[in-house]
C-alpha cells in the first residue's frame, strides 16, 4: 500500500491563496505559497494542540485558543504593518515581506505544551532555541526558502527594523496576543487599538518607531498589557494551577527515574524517563527510534492532560492526590504578598501539611508551592519604544509622553504561596 | 496519607456565588449553591475537555470552545428567560428556577468526545440517555436535590413550559450555541438577537410562546440557524474530517477486536476492545475495576487525539495512513451532490483506490466515505414555535409570518462523497 | 476685505489623502484628490445636516447619524468591492475606480431634509433628479472631472457592472446603510456580513453577480433588510411622526400661500411660499437673489426643526397643535391593518375629531392620517441578484437558493391610521 | 379648538415601563413612572437637539449623538450601580433609588447648545445652575416628587454616597460618556470596562469606594479618559471649530447690541440682543412674553446652526467670512504649543491678518484665536478615588496603585493659536 501523505506537497500545487476566518481579526488572507506550505506542515499543525494560555482556561473558560490561531493572527498583522510602512515610503521588497511574515508565523513553533511552564521541568532548553532548530529543519525541507526569514528572526539581516517587527516591545507577537487573549478570556479591558498603532508605525534610522500622534495609543497599549498581566497572565488561580502542574510533573519524573511503573503517553514517556540537555536537541540524539527533536515535536498539551487524568489512580498518593486536584480543578489556595515567603512561614506550613495530610515530612513539599511573579509593562532595557515627532526628532516614549511612565518600567514583583484549601494555616 | 479531595465539599461551604467571565455573554453570575456544586463536580468538569464543535476547528481555527462554556452560557440565558417571564406576570418559584437552570446546565453532560460522531461508533447509546443516567447519579450524590430538575428534563413536571425552555425549537441550548458558535468560528452572520428573543417570551396555555412583536427576530433566528448549518456544522471539510474520524475508529476497533496489538489511552481501550449495549450502561457492568458509565465519564477528546497521533506509526497501513491524514490535516476531498451516490460510482472509485493506493480491494472501503447530510431550520413536527398576538390569539409561526417558512421546514438533504485528494476520479 | 473661502481650493493642494474615523467601518482612507475635493464642497458638507433616518431618532435615540457619514461609508465599501473584483481578474482602471467611487459618494447629494418625506410636500421633484443636477453643477465646477462618474451614475457607461455597484439590489448604498442603520439604532439583528458579501462579488457577462458560496450570506442580507424595514424603517411610531410632519408642512404651506404671516427660516420660506416644478430646478429660475437649486442646496433638517419649534406658538390652532405634538414627541396613535382604511371608518373618526378637538369639520382632516406602507426585501423586477456556480453557470438567486424566496419578492402592504392618542375611537 | 397636549399627562397613565434601544448599552428599561414622565417632558426632549460633543462631528463624522441619549444611558448605569451596591449588602430604599436615578437623568438638563462653548458667550450662568433651576421647576410641576432627587443633586442628603454616584470622579456621567463618545467617534481605544467597574463599587464610611480587585480597571479608566481628552475632546481641529464659533457669536452679539439688523431665530435673538445676569434667570425676568428661563429652555443647537448658515450672506464681512468658514468646514489652522502665545507673536500675526485679509486692524482680532486647553485625568482635589482592600482598609487610588498616578493628577496645559489656513505666518 502506498503512503498517502507524501504525495500531497507535489499534487496540491494549485490554489494556495486561502482565506481563513479568524474571530478576532476577521478574514485572514494567505498571500503566498510558502506561507501556505508552512501552515500545512505537521510541525505547524501541532500548534493547534497547544493552548495559547496554558491552564488559564481553568479561570477563564473561553481561553481555549491555541498557538496556531495566534501565529496566523500575528502573520496577518505583519502584512498590515508592511502595507503601512510601504505607504509611508519605506521600501520593503516582496521577498522581505514574505520572509518577515514567515518569521513571525514560526516564532512560537518551538513552544512546549502548557507554555513556559514545562521549560525547566520536562526539558532544559528554551522554546526560542527549539523554534530556531525547527525553522532550520523546515528550511532544509523547503530547499532554503527560509534563509531570509531565519536571518531576520536571528537579527542578522541588514534591515534591522524587520527583526523588530518580529521581536521588540511593539512586535506583531504582542499586538496579536494582547487582543486575542482579551477576546477569548472575555477581559474586554485588555483590548488595544492595533489597527491604529500599526498605522502610526514608521522607520527612523533603520529602526521601527511610532509617529508622535500615536503616543496615546502606545500609553493605552502599555496599560492594557499591564492590566492583562495582573488580571489574566498572573491571575492567582492560574499561578496556583501552573504550580500544581509543575509539582505533578516533578513527582512523576522522580518516580519514573526511580524506576517506578508510571503510565504515560508515548511522547511524554520519553521526557519523563530521560534528562536531555540542549546538546541532545541539537545533535539529534536518538531515543526509541526517533530523534529528541522529533519526539519533542509530537508532544502536545494532550499528552500531559491524558497522563495526569490517569495518574489520579496511581498508587503513589502524592501523585494521585495532586493529579486529582488538577484534573478536577480542586486548586490550591494562593496568597500573594509583597515580600518573599520566609523560611519560617514555609516551615510552619510544611508542619501543618505533614500533620494534616501527608503524615510524612519528606512528602509535604509537594503540597506547598512558593515563588515570585513579576510584571513590567515596558522594559526599557529590552529596546525602547521610540517616538518620531513632526520635525523629524526622535524621543524615547518615556520622554515623549507627558505621563510618568517610570512606573511602567519598574518591575513589580509579588510572591506567592499555594497550599491545599482545607488547611487552616492561621 | 489522607485523600485531599473528599474534604472539599464540606469545607468549601462559603462563597458559592461566583462571577465567571464569558467572552460571549459577559459576566455570568452563579446564583445558587447547587449550581455551583454541580459545576465543581468532576463529571461536569469533564466537559472542559470536549470541544463544542468537534473537528470544526480544522476549518475554523478559533472553534476550540468546549461544552463546558456552552453549558454555563445556556444556564445564564435560562436565568434571563426566567426573569423575562416573571416580569410578564408568570409565576416561577425559586425552586423551579433552580431546577430548570440545573436541567439546562446538565443537558449535555452525557456527550461523547467529538460530539455526535462517536455515538454508534464507539458506543451504542445516545448521549441523551447517558445524560439522564449521569443526572440520576448526581441526584443520588446530592441527596435528591435534582429531583425536580430531572422531572423537568424528562418532561414529567406539570408546568410543561419549563421543559420547553430546556428542549424545544427555542430552548436555551439553541439560543446559546448559535451565538457561541458564531462567535468562535468568526462566522459573524450567524449572530442572533438572543436578548430580544428572550424579552419576547411569553406563556400561553402552559406553553412557551413568543409575542407577536418578536416575529422578525424569530425569522432571523431561523435563517441564522440555517446559515450556520450550511456554513459551519455541515461544512464539507468538516464532514470530511468527521467521516475520516469514524473510519479511523472503525478500523481501530476492528483491529482491537481481532486481537491485534493497538495502542490506546486507558479509557479509550475499554471502548475499543468491548461492545457495550445500553444495558451495560444502565446496569453498571464492571470492566477492569470500574463500571462502564465510570469509564465513559472519564473519556474525552484527548483520548481520541492522543491515540490517533500514535496510530500514525501503527503497522496496519490503513490505520496509519488514515491517522496521519487526520492528525496532520491532510483531509480528503469532499463532493456534495443532490442525489445519493450510486453503487456504480462507488464501485468505480473503489477500483481506482485499489489500483492507486491499497492494492487490496478489501481495504479500499476505508478510503471512501459516503453519506447524507440534512438540514431543516424549523422542524414543525418537533414542536411548533407559537406566536401570541395582542388580542390573545395564538398562531403557528408559519401562519404568523408573512414570509413563506415552508422552505425552512423542508428538510434539505445533500449527499457526500470523500476520497483522497490525490486521486483523479474524473 | 478679502473673502477667505475662495482661496481655499487653490491653496490646499497638499495632503488630500486623509484618514477618517468611522464607528461602523473603522478607518476610512480617502485615496484620491477629487474625492477629497468633493467632500470639502459645501454641497456635500450640507449632508452633515440631513439625518440618514429622518425622524426615526424619536424612536431610536441613537439614530442621529447623517447622510454625510453614509456617503463616506458607501465610498469606502466601493473601494473594497473594486479590490475584490480586481483580485478575481476583472479589469477596472484607476479612472473607472475613481469615477465609480465619486458616483456612490454623490448618489444621495440631492436628498431633501427628512428624507423622502418632503418630496411631494415641499418640492415636486425626486431626489435622484436633484442629485443629477447637482452632480452636473459640480462637474462644471471641477472642469469635467466627473464626466465618467456621471456616465456611470446614469448607466450610460459601457461597463454596466459599474452602475450596478452604484444602484442595484446589491449596491454599496444598501450594503452600507443596512449595517449603519443597524449600528446606530441598536437593532443589532440587522447586521449583515458586508465583508463576506463583497468577497463573493464576481462579474459575469458584464453584470455584477455573486459566487455560489455566497448564497447564504445573500439570504441573510435579504432577511436582515426585511427585518430592518419592519422593525425600523416602517416602525409604526416612525410612520406616525412622518405623517405628522407631512401634515404640519401641508398646513404651513396652505397658510403661507393664503398669505398668512408665518414664521420660517429663510430657506424654508422660499419653498413654503412658492410651488416649483422640476423645470424651475433645471432652468435655474431665480427667487430672491438665488436660483431654486441654490435655495434647495442650503435647505436642511434644521430649517424644518426650527420652524416647527416656532410654530408651537402660531395663532392657527391646527398648526400650533400639530407642531407641539411633533416638537415635544406627543405622537399620534398608529394602527396597522391589512386592508385599506375604509371611507366609513375615516368618516367616523373625523366626526369624533370634530366633536372632541377641532369643533370644525373642515379642520379635522389634519388630525387623521392614513396611508399604506409596503415592503419587499427582494424586488426581482428591479434587477435580479444573479448567482454564479463553479461550473460557470448563472442562476437567479430565487432558483439558486433552496429556500423559497418568493415570499421575499412579494410586496407586503400594510395600511395605517394615525390619530391623537386621547381619542377614544372604539 | 382644544389644546391637544395638555391632556396627555392625565390620559397616558398606563404602561410607563418602556424599553428603549440604545446602541451602546443595549436595551434600557425604564422602571418607574416619574422617570418616564420626566423623559416625556419638553424640557428633557430638548436634549435631543443638543449634541453631546458639540462641534466634534466636524472631525468625527459619527459624533452626532445627543445629550438625550447620554442622560438615558447614565440613568441606566445608575440602576446597575444600585443593584451592585445592594448585592454587597448596602441598603438603598426604592425611593432613594428612584431619586438618584432622576438626579442623574436631569444632571445635564441645563446645558446650553454646543456645550460649554456658549457659557460666557451667550449667557453668563453655568449650566449646573440652570440644571438646578429647571429641576426646581419640574419639581413644582410634578408636585414635589423630585424633592429627594434635588437633595441628592445638591449634596444635602444624608447618604452622601448617593451624591457621589451623580457627581464625583467615578460618577455615572463619566462612566457613560467615555464609552458613548468612544462608540460614536469610532475611537475604540477610549472604551472602558463599565460593567466591571460598577461590579467593583462598594461603600465605606458613607462614601463610594472601589474594591481592591478593581484597581487595574480604574487605571484603565483614567488612561482612557486621558486618551479621549487628547484624541477627541481637545483635538486641535475641534478646538479650532469651537474658537471660531465663539468669535462668530461675539461678533454677532456686538452687531446686535450696536443695533445692526442681524438675522436670527427667535430664541437666539433674545440672547443676542440682551445681556442677562444669573439673577434674570432666577427671578424670571420677562422678555417678549416669556421668562428668560423659558427662552433658554427652547434654545438648541439648531438655532445656532441656522443663524450661522444665514450669516454667510450678512453684509458685515467679518461675520459672513467667519460664518462661511464654520458652515462649510473651512476651519482655521491650529498650532499647539507648551508655552502661552506671546503678545509679540499675536501682534505679528494680527499685522499679517490686517495686511492680507481685513485691511482694518480693528477687525483683525476676529481672525486670530488664542487660549489654553488643560487636561488632568484624575483630579485629586475633586474628591479622591478610594480603594477598599480585603482587610477593610481604605487607601487613595494613588497609594493603592503600584503605578505612579502622579502624572495623571498633574494638569497638562497646552496653548493654542488659530488663524486662517491661507496665511503664511512663518
- Residue A280 sits in a domain whose CATH number is 1.20.1250.30
C247 is a domain residue: yes
- Among C264, C271, C277, C278, which residue's Cα sits nearest to residue C295? C271
Instruction: Please state at what angle helix D215-228 crosses helix A215-228, rounded to 10 degrees.
Output: 170
Contact residues on chain B for D196, CB-CB shorter than 8 A: 27
Mean per-residue pLDDT for A401-405?
71
If you ran DSSP here, which 8-state letter would residue D287 be given? E
Q: How far apart are CA C308 and CA C60, in angstroms?
A: 21
Q: Which residues contact C315 (CB under 8 A, 6 or more apart)?
A: none
Q: Residue C422 falls within a domain, yes or no?
A: no
Chain A contact for B141 (CB, 8 A cutoff): no
CB D99 within 8 A of CB D82: no
- Please say if the pLDDT value at position D408 is more than 50: yes
Q: What is the pLDDT of residue B9?
A: 35
A261-289 mean pLDDT? 94
Q: For residues A269 and B380, which has the higher predicted lDDT (pLDDT)? A: A269
Residue C320 DSSP label: H
CATH code assigned at C222: 1.10.3210.10
Mark which of C285, C300, C329 sits at the end of a domain.
C329
State whether D201 and D160 are in the same domain.
yes
Give the pLDDT of residue A382. Answer: 66
Interval C397-416 mean pLDDT? 78
Mean pLDDT of chain C: 90
Residue A425's pLDDT band, with cuts at 50, 70 and 90, is confident
Same domain for B267 and B209: no
Interface C-D, measured as beta-carbon pairs within 8 A, has a size of 166
ipTM of the complex: 0.86
pLDDT of residue D292: 96
Cα–Cα distance list, A420 to A59, A240, A247, A372, B44 (Å): 17, 10, 13, 19, 22
* Angle value at C-alpha C27, between C23 and C31, nearest 5 degrees: 135
Q: Is A189 on the interface with B (CB under 8 A)?
A: no
DSSP D55: G
Q: How far apart are CA C37 and CA C394, in angstroms?
A: 40
Judging contacts by C-beta atoms under 8 Å, the chain A residues touching residue D391 are none
Among A379-393, C226-240, D55-69, the least confident range: A379-393
Residues of chain B with pLDDT under 70: 1-16, 116, 377, 379-382, 403-404, 407
Q: Do A83 and A209 belong together in one domain?
A: yes
For chain D, count helices (H), then strands (E): 20, 11
Residues A89-126: tens digit of each pLDDT: 999 999 999 999 999 999 999 999 987 677 777 888 88
Could you tell me which of A103, A163, A155 has the C-alpha nearest to residue A134? A103
Same domain flag for C275 and C263: yes
Q: Which residues pair with A369 in a beta bridge?
A: A418
The CA-atom distances, in angstroms, between D385 and each of A171, D161, D215 are 35, 12, 10
Is residue B193 less than 8 Å (CB to CB) from chain C? yes
D62 closest CB neighbour out of C7, C65, C324:
C65
Residue B8: inside a domain: no
Residue C393 covered by a domain: no
Give the orientation angle of helix D172-185 with respect to helix D67-87, to 10 degrees: 130
Contact B307/A at CB under 8 A = no
Confidence band, pLDDT 50/70/90 cuts, at residue C8: very low
pLDDT in tens, C278-315: 999 999 999 999 999 999 999 999 999 999 999 999 99
- B-D Cβ pairs (cutoff 8 Å, strict): 10
- Say if residues A199 and A84 touch (Cβ distance below 8 Å): yes
Residue A418, domain member (yes or no): no
Do residues C112 and C121 lie in contact, with contact meaning Cβ atoms separated by under 8 Å?
A: no
Residues C163 and C245 in one domain: no
pLDDT of residue B377: 67
pLDDT confidence of residue D7: 38
Residue C63 pLDDT > 70, yes or no?
Answer: yes
For residue D88, what is the nearest residue in chain B, using CA coordinates? B17
Q: Residues near D289 by Cβ (< 8 Å), separated by ≥ 6?
A: none
Tens-digit pLDDT profile for residues D203-213: 999 999 999 98
Give CA–CA dist A24/A19, Å, rounded. 14
Whether B403 and C402 lie within 8 Å, measured CB to CB: no
Of the candidates C188, A241, D221, A188, which has an alpha carbon nearest to the alpha carbon of residue B27? A188
Let me know whether B399 and B415 are in one domain: no
H or E stretch at D35: helix D33-40
For B295, which residue in chain A has the nearest alpha carbon?
A: A310
The answer to whether the CB atoms of A5 and B330 lie below 8 A apart is yes
Give the domain-ending residue among A302, A328, A354.
A328
Residue A135's domain comprises: 13-231
Same domain assignment for residues A45 and A32: yes
Contact list in A for residue B315 (CB cut-off 8 A) is: none
Alpha carbon distance B252, B354 (integer Å): 20
Which of A249, A301, A302, A65 has its CA nearest to residue B307? A302
Residue C419 lies inside a defined structural domain of this protein = no
Give every strand in the sheet of D412-419, ordered side by side.
Answer: D333-337, D412-419, D369-375
Q: What angle, 0 to 180 degrees and rounded to 10, lies between the N-to-C axes of helices D33-40 and D94-105?
A: 20
Instruction: State the pLDDT at residue B192.
Output: 86
Q: Contact, B311 vs B319, CB < 8 A?
A: yes
B146 and B222 fall within a common domain: yes
Q: Is A62 on the interface with B (CB under 8 A)?
A: yes
Q: If contacts are CB pairs under 8 Å, which of residues 226-285 in chain A contact chain B?
A: 263, 265-267
| Rounded Cα–Cα distance for residues C412 and C338 (Å) | 9
- The DSSP annotation for A79-100 comes to HHHHHHHHHTT----HHHHHHH
pLDDT for position C85: 96
pLDDT at site C211 = 95
Q: State phi, psi for C145 to the nearest 5 degrees.
A: -65, -10
DSSP state of D57: G
For residue C4, the model assigns a pLDDT of 56
Considering only CB atoms, C21 lies closest to which of D60, D317, D327, namely D60
| Pair C296, C124: CB distance under 8 Å | no
CA-closest candidate to residue D341, choices D375, D369, D361: D369
Cβ neighbours of C27 in A, within 8 Å = 195-196, 199
Residues of A in contact with D231 (CB under 8 A): 216
- How many residues are given for chain B? 426
C398/D280: higher pLDDT: D280
Does A187 share its domain with A295?
no
With b for 16 or more beta-carbon neighbours within 10 A and e for fewer, the A403-414 pattern comes to bbbebbbeebeb
* More confident of the two residues B8 and A306: A306
- Is residue C26 situated within a structural domain? yes
User: SS3 letters for B199-241?
Assistant: HCEEEECCEEEEEHHHHHHHHHHHHHHHHHHHHHHCCHHHHHH
Instruction: State the smallest CA–CA distance between residue A189 and chain D in angstroms.
Output: 6
Q: Same domain for C272 and C218?
A: no
Residue D207 C-beta-side C-alpha neighbours within 13 Å = 17
What integer pLDDT is reported at residue C412 of this predicted model?
79
Cβ separation C199–A26 shorter than 8 A? no
- The strand pair at D201-204 and D26-29 is best described as unpaired
Which residues on D lie below 8 Å from A404 (Cβ)?
Answer: 404, 406-407
Pick from B83, B85, B79: nearest CA to B99: B79
Residues 6+ apart with CB under 8 A from A393: none
Short-list C234, C142, C137, C139, CA closest to C185: C234
Strands C207-211 and C201-204: antiparallel
Is D366 a member of any domain?
yes
Q: Which helix (H) or strand (E) holds A42?
A: helix A42-45
Q: Is A356 on the interface with B (CB under 8 A)?
A: yes
Confidence at residue A6, expressed as pLDDT on a 0 to 100 scale: 43
Give me the residue from B27, B195, B196 closest to D195, CB to CB. Answer: B27
Total count of domains within chain A: 2
Cβ(D53)–Cβ(D182) below 8 Å: no
C-alpha–C-alpha distance, residues B84 and B211, integer Å: 12
DSSP letters along D86-129, please? Answer: HHTT----HHHHHHHHHHHHTTTTTPPTTGGGGBTTTBSS-HHH
Q: Do B218 and B95 have their domain in common? A: yes
The answer, for B220 touching chain C at a CB cutoff of 8 Å, is: yes
Q: A42 vs A59, A74, B328, C20, CA distance in Å?
A: 30, 19, 5, 43
Are residues C84 and C175 located together in one domain of the fold? yes
Residue A40 pLDDT greater than 50, yes or no: yes
Among the residues of C360-426, which ranges form H helices?
361-364, 397-400, 406-409
Per-residue CA distances from B207 to B74, B153, B220, D272 (Å): 20, 15, 22, 65
Amino acid at each position: 500500500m502506498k503512503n498517502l501523505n507524501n504525495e500531497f506537497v507535489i499534487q496540491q500545487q494549485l490554489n494556495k491563496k486561502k482565506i481563513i476566518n479568524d474571530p478576532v481579526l476577521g478574514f485572514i488572507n494567505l498571500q503566498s505559497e510558502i506561507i501556505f506550505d508552512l501552515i500545512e506542515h505537521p510541525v505547524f499543525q501541532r500548534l493547534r494542540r497547544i493552548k495559547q494560555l496554558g491552564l488559564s482556561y481553568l479561570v477563564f473558560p473561553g481561553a481555549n485558543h491555541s498557538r496556531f490561531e495566534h501565529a496566523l493572527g500575528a502573520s496577518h498583522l505583519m502584512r498590515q504593518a508592511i502595507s503601512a510602512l510601504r505607504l509611508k515610503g519605506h521600501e520593503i521588497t516582496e521577498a522581505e515581506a514574505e520572509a518577515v511574515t514567515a518569521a513571525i508565523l514560526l516564532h512560537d513553533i518551538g513552544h512546549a505544551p502548557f507554555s513556559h511552564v514545562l521549560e525547566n521541568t520536562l526539558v532544559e532548553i528554551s522554546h526560542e532555541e527549539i523554534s530556531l532548530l525547527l525553522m532550520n529543519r523546515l528550511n532544509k525541507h523547503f530547499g532554503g526558502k527560509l534563509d531570509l526569514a531565519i536571518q531576520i528572526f536571528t537579527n542578522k539581516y541588514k534591515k534591522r527594523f524587520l527583526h523588530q517587527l518580529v521581536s521588540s516591545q511593539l512586535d506583531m507577537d504582542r499586538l496579536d496576543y494582547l487582543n486575542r487573549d482579551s477576546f477569548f478570556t472575555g477581559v474586554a479591558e485588555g483590548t488595544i487599538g492595533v489597527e491604529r498603532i500599526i498605522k502610526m508605525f514608521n522607520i527612523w534610522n533603520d529602526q521601527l518607531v511610532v509617529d508622535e500622534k500615536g503616543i496615546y495609543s502606545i500609553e493605552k497599549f502599555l496599560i492594557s498589557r499591564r492590566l492583562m498581566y495582573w488580571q489574566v497572565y498572573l491571575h492567582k488561580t492560574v499561578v496556583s494551577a501552573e504550580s500544581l502542574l509543575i509539582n505533578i510533573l516533578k513527582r512523576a519524573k522522580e518516580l519514573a527515574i526511580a524506576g517506578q511503573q508510571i503510565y504515560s503517553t508515548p511522547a511524554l514517556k520519553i521526557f519523563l524517563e530521560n534528562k536531555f540537555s540542549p546538546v541532545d536537541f541539537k545533535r539529534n540524539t536518538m531515543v526509541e527510534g526517533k530523534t529528541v527533536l522529533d519526539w519533542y515535536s509530537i508532544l502536545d498539551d494532550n499528552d500531559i492532560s491524558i497522563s495526569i487524568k490517569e495518574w489520579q489512580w496511581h498508587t503513589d498518593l502524592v501523585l494521585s492526590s495532586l493529579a486529582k486536584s488538577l484534573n478536577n480543578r480542586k486548586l490550591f489556595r494562593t496568597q500573594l504578598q509583597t515580600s518573599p515567603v520566609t523560611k519560617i512561614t514555609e516551615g510552619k506550613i510544611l508542619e501543618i501539611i505533614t500533620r494534616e495530610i501527608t503524615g510524612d515530612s519528606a512528602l509535604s513539599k509537594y503540597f506547598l508551592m512558593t515563588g515570585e511573579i513579576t510584571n513590567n509593562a515596558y522594559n526599557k532595557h529590552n529596546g525602547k519604544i521610540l517616538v518620531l515627532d513632526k520635525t523629524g526628532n526622535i524621543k524615547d516614549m518615556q520622554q515623549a509622553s507627558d505621563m510618568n511612565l517610570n512606573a511602567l518600567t519598574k518591575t513589580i514583583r509579588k510572591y506567592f504561596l499555594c497550599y491545599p484549601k482545607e488547611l487552616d494555616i492561621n
